[in-house]
Structure 1
Amino acid sequence: MADAALPQEGAPGLTTLQVTLAAGGIYTAQSLVGGLGFMGIPAVLRDRGVPLEQIGLVSLLMIPWALKFLWSPWIERLRRPGNAAGRRSRGIILAGELLAAAALCAVGLLAEAPFWTIFCALLVLAVISATVDIACDAFLIEQIPKKDLGLGNTAQVGGGYLGLVFGSALFVYLAAVIGWAYAAGAMAVLLLVLSLPMALTPEPDVASAGRTNEPPSVLSALKRREIAFGILMTCVFEAGGRLVQVLSGPFLIDAGVPLGLLGLLNGSGGVAAGLAGTALGGLLVKKAGAERAIRFVLLIQAVILTMLTLAVFSDWVGPSGLVVLIIAKSAVMAATFVTLYSRLMTLVSPSQPGVDFTIFQCASALIAAVCGLGGGLLSGVAGYGASFLLATALAVLALLFQPAIERSLSRETLS
């Protein structure tokens, strides 16, 4: 278990600011691609009269993000060639971003193409983006000092929210003003601009303590108890928030919130809440450490979900109060991601950080899909109250289980 934690405190000559700016730019570019595929392009397609049945298939673009652990060992071997010195993370990331920009230009040329042609182009773009994410996560884990992981994860999650604005709102606006092709080209240029900090940042070699002759593999990761605990933490800590995440919009509509106001909340309000929660999570990790930060955020999450559940059953707040609670829930979810990712990054093996952290992210995508589907089905059968009550119970259980999970991890590390 000696390789369970990262041995280095950051690469000599590479500052935390350099790493944060480089990785943050890439994470923003990655989220731009996601926002474009899941929100921006579907909106434009619907405006052109594409049937909802076809647009709904865009959700299949999540598959590469859920399955990227399958090719993460190959990326890790390419990124760290044997026991040789040096890293190729930056080269993989920049090559991927160039391919993504080319794919975006291709999407722009397919403005009049059939839906399935556009879908295939978006699927290729999703595979490229998911692959870049593997290398970027490994770059961040290796190059940032362990004590500054919270700052790195703040850039990771915050970049995700900023990228959604570019890929959804900005793309839709540009498509309406200058047309699909030019809007896609603008997104490609913006993606390359966001990649510039990474292109200008060197990638020094790191401490050799994590090197091993064993090739990176998913199987070797799953044999380590730290990875099992990390998957457990991901599922338990995210389940409550994920269960009601997809229900927030429909719930507010049924509670009487106007559609226009809801659109504003999902746009600027959601981004502002996400960025605020991201900043809060990063500050908590910096001041208290990831373990205590997680505990505090889980407590806030349990309180907010309890208040929402009471609101569903007793109608003790009006629509405006529900809006405030939903925004608070969104902020807490962002803080949860920052604190959880900071903790998970300390559990990866230095011999294959890209593989290990990718497994955690795939677990997150899986729990999001399962809880989103489950929450919708449960609400359809038993009403919103049942889903919010279950989410509250899961949030309370996460708060109660967190100390036990940390004690088990401590015993594992000592052994």
Structure 2
Amino acid sequence: MSAAEAAGAPRRLASPAEVVAGLAGVYMAQSVIGGVTFQGLPAVLRQDGASLSEIGMLLVTVAPWSFKFLWSPWVESYRLPAGRPHRSRQVVLIGGVVVMAMMVGAGLAGPGALGLLMTLLTIAAFATATVDIACDGYAVETLSERHRGWGNAAQVAGAYAGTAIGGGLFLVLVDHLGWAFACFAMAAALAALCALFVLGRDGPRPPRAADAERPNLRAALRRREVRYGLLLVALYVVGQKWAMVLIGPYLVDAGLSLTWIGVINGFGGMGAGVLGALMGGGLVRRFGGGRVAIVSMGLQAAVTLGFAVSAAYGLHGAWIVAALALLNAVVMAVGFVALYARLMGYASLDQAGVDFTLFQCADAIASVAGWLGASAFGDALGYAWCFGLTGAVAVAATFVLAPAFRRADAAL
């Protein structure tokens, strides 16, 4: 305890900028693991002769992110003890230590022990998903409405930057310094990224009432604003994400070289995503999350229909399809910053981690369903029809979003 606290002086609270910086570090750390798992490790395994079916088994590690709502009430109950200080930092610290231990274990195991690696990375995914519950709940409670856009910008930008570290820098280190060193370096990076949050000061958080109901899923689903929030997520995923699975294959079939595709998906995608996230944070603060989300959906429809026109008329010039792909990344980042900034307002301060986790899991499940559908019909219908249909769905979603936002706001 400091001398000021011992003397009864009020403890200095973190500024919104400090809170956002701490959140950004944790979100980056979470995405480092995703980058290693879904971009770095597949490349290493393929280089070592692993089959595509073996590499595909890594998809099992995404399960904790789709179903983390199942244990979110227990995380929130621990994080928010009634009448006592919150334990957000303890959750992040414990989860971070587990993830770092898994990365050290992966470094010692080596890339040849695929079964052991999958076990370690699944445990790491479970830990990072648990940390995400606590981190999101803390963000909802701490950031005022005018700063929530920046909080979600930190989440989206952190995801892009963390993926670049785990999927890019990791491979460079493997290539030049070896697998073990690369894994140990990722563990050190995780410690550095989480330190600002774990060691930082609290923001202005309202205390949880001593008689508040224990966090649970039924309490979340009883609230109309949560149910409308789930509807908004579904509408947004249908309009914005269902075409994503087609873009990568379309770039290949349009004749772009692997170098071009690497630049677009790597440096270009990260830059566009971070730019979109920062733009989204500023626009949400100025115009509000709902308005920006609706406009972004309209722009997403235009970009998707642009892909349809490119496919239908054979407009496969490298600069044309690259511009569409990068514009898609910018618009998508702006849209999801805006959407989740608005969804923060629908989460109860008594169990923000549970409510917000439900929104994210609905996003993940709807995305996977759409990607499976687009993949199944892609060969039969062709790119022009698939992009055209998903673009039309985005147009319809644009018109449905405004009344859906109004109904959700009325339920508050």
**Aligned-residue offset at 1:267:** 0.7
Aligned to 2:63: 63
Change in Cα spacing, 1:263 to 1:220, as seen in structure 2 (3 Å) is: same
For structure 1, the residue ranges without an aligned partner over 5 or more in a row are 1-10
Whether contact under 8 Å (2:13, 2:201) holds in the other structure is no
3-state SS of 1:243 partner: coil
State the match for 2:405 in structure 1. Answer: 406
Q: In structure 1, how many angstroms separate the alpha carbons of the residues matched to 2:260 and 2:384?
A: 23
Question: What percent identity do the matched residue pairs reach?
Answer: 36
Offset of residue 114 of structure 1:
2.5
Matched to 2:194, the amino acid is S
RMSD of aligned alpha carbons = 1.6
- Alignment-derived partner of residue 3 in structure 1: none
The alpha-carbon deviation at position 211 of structure 1 amounts to: 5.9
Deviates further, 186-195 or 387-396: 387-396
Question: In the TM superposition, what is the alpha-carbon distance from 1:318 to its structure 2 partner?
Answer: 2.7
Moved more, 111-120 or 336-345: 111-120
CA contact (8 A) 1:242 1:368 kept: yes
Give a deviation string over 1:107-157, Cα, whole Å, max 9, x none.
101105531111111111110111111011111111122210001111111
Instruction: Give how far 1:411 is off.
Output: 2.9
Instruction: Please say if residues 16 and 147 of structure 2, whose CA atoms lie closer than 8 Å, have aligned partners that are also in contact.
Output: yes
The corresponding residue for 1:201 is: 200
Which residue in the other structure is 2:109 paired with? 110
Inter-CA distance 263–225: structure 2 relative to 1 (3 Å threshold): same
Number of the residue aligned with 2:33: 33
Return the alpha-carbon distance in structure 1 between the equivalents of residues 119 and 165 of structure 2: 22
TM-score by length of structure 1 reads: 0.94
1:146-189 CA deviation, whole Å, 9 max, x = no partner? Answer: 21000111111100000001101111110111111110000000
**Aligned residue-pair number:** 402
Question: What's the counterpart of residue 149 of structure 2?
Answer: 150
Residue identity in the other structure for 2:46? R
2:119 equivalent in structure 1: 120
Match of 2:361 in 1: 362
Mapping of residues 129-208 of structure 1, within 5 Å: 129-203=128-202, 206-208=205-207
SS state at 1:246 partner: helix
Partner of 1:324: 323
Match of 2:249 in 1: 250
| Distance in 2 (alpha carbons) for counterparts of 1:158 and 1:372 | 23
Q: Name the CA shift for 1:384/1:284 in 2 (closer, same or farther; >3 Å).
A: same
State the one-letter code of the partner of 1:56: G
Question: Cα–Cα, structure 1 residues 337 and 100, in superposed 2: closer, same or farther, change >3 Å?
Answer: same
The residue aligned with 2:306 is: 307
Partner of 1:106, secondary structure, is helix
Instruction: Letter of the 2:347 partner, please give it.
Output: V
Q: CA deviation at 1:266?
A: 0.9
Letter aligned with residue 58 of structure 1: L
TM-score after normalising by structure 2: 0.94
Q: Any idea what the Cα deviations from partners look like across 1:330-375, whole Å, max 9, x if unmatched?
A: 1111111101110110100111000000000101111111111111
C-alpha separation in 1, matches of 2:72 and 2:55: 29
Per-residue Cα deviation, 1:265-299 (whole angstroms, up to 9, x for no partner): 11101101111111121111011011111122112
- Aligned pair in 2 of structure 1 residues 310, 212: CA closer, same or farther (>3 Å)? farther
Q: Which moved more, 1:243-252 or 1:26-35?
A: 243-252
Aligned twin of 1:7 = none
In structure 1, how many angstroms separate the alpha carbons of the residues matched to 2:43 and 2:111? 15
CA distance in 2, matches of 1:171, 1:211: 46
Q: How does 1:260-339 map to 2 (within 5 A)?
A: 260-316=259-315, 318-339=317-338
Q: Hey, what's the Cα distance between the residues in 1 that align with 2:226 and 2:167? A: 34
Between stretches 111-120 and 398-407, larger displacement belongs to: 111-120
